[in-house]
Structure formats: structure tokens, C-alpha cells
Amino acid sequence: MDHQAINLAEKLTRIPDTWSPRVVAELNDYQFKLVRLEGEFVWHSHADTDEAFLVIAGEMRIALRDGHVDLKAGELFVVPKGVEHKPVAERECQVLLVEPRGVVNTGDAGGAMTAEPDLWV
């Protein structure tokens, strides 16, 4: 087994596209995914799981049907399972997502912004 720290900043430089999460580590059945956000994502929900957003750099908003949550670097928000949400970032924002293996980024919405799940960087 290779025992090395994971350099998140270096990994982020290897993610070519926004809205394309890449796995950097696993813990039991959960994955830690890095993603670069810019612009607006699609409204979606995940019926079977919560989704954690930890902002590494930049700022973002998670729009909810009954309000929104603004996040900046160092802040964390967990979207409860089944809650419809839409991530938005006016400028590039770097985020660490924590969610179970196999979760699709667009949840129940599908569409052109759907990224292939479980890709590693």
C-alpha cells in the first residue's frame, strides 16, 4: 500500500473541465471528489443520499427551493437527501464533495451536464 498525502491543489490542476468531479480518495463506501465550479449547474436532487460541499477556494451559492446558502473558502454545507438544489459560482470555485460511491453529479435531473461517475484524478 502506498502511504502518501494527497495534494489537493496539485490534483485540481489536473481536472480539465468545470462541473466534472474527480475522485481523490475513498473512505469505506464514500468518495472524496474534487470539482471546479463556474457558472450555474442544474436543479437536481439525490433521493438516496446527502451531499457535502466543502469550499477549498473561492465562493459559491447553493440555491434551494426555499432559499440559499452562501459558502466561502473553509465553509461546509450538507444538502440533505431528497432536497432539490443548484450550485452556482460567479467565478471559479474549488470544492471537495463527499458522497457515496457511484453518485451521479446531476442526480435525478440527468442531461448534458452529467459527468461520468467514479473517475479518479
d(CA 86, CA 113): 12
**Encoded amino acid at 97, one letter:** L
Closest CA to 53 of 82, 16, 85, 29: 85
d(CA 74, CA 26): 21
Measured from the Cβ of residue 74, the count of other Cβ atoms closer than 10 Å reads 9
Closest CA to 37 of 92, 110, 99, 75: 92
Domain ranges of the chain: 29-120
Q: Which CATH superfamily is domain 29-120 in?
A: Jelly Rolls (2.60.120.10)
What is the per-residue pLDDT across 49-88, written as a single tens digit (0 to 9) for each?
999 999 999 999 999 999 999 999 999 999 999 999 999 9
d(CA 39, CA 27): 30
* pTM (two decimals): 0.95
